[in-house]
Chains A and B, each alone.
Chain A
Amino acid sequence: EAQVTQNPRYLITVTGKKLTVTCSQNMNHEYMSWYRQDPGLGLRQIYYSMNVEVTDKGDVPEGYKVSRKEKRNFPLILESPSPNQTSLYFCASSLRAKLRGETQYFGPGTRLLVL
Chain B
Amino acid sequence: TQLLEQSPQFLSIQEGENLTVYCNSSSVFSSLQWYRQEPGEGPVLLVTVVTGGEVKKLKRLTFQFGDARKDSSLHITAAQPGDTGLYLCAGESGGSNYKLTFGKGTLLTVNP
* B40 at interface by CB-CB < 8 Å: yes
The answer on a CB contact under 8 Å between B41 and A109 is yes
Q: How many residues of B contact A (CB 8 A)?
A: 24
Instruction: Give the secondary structure class of B's interface.
Output: loop
Tally A-B pairs: CB < 8 A: 64
Nearest opposing residue in chain A for B44, CB measure:
A106
* B45 at interface by CB-CB < 8 Å: yes
Can you list 30 A-B contacts (CB < 8 A)?
A: A31-B98, A35-B102, A40-B104, A42-B104, A42-B105, A43-B88, A43-B102, A44-B102, A45-B99, A45-B101, A50-B98, A56-B98, A59-B1, A59-B99, A90-B43, A98-B92, A98-B98, A99-B31, A99-B48, A99-B92, A100-B30, A100-B92, A103-B48, A104-B45, A104-B100, A106-B42, A106-B44, A107-B42, A108-B41, A109-B42
**Contact residues of A with B, CB < 8 Å?**
4, 31, 33, 35, 40-45, 48, 50, 56, 58-59, 90, 92, 97-109
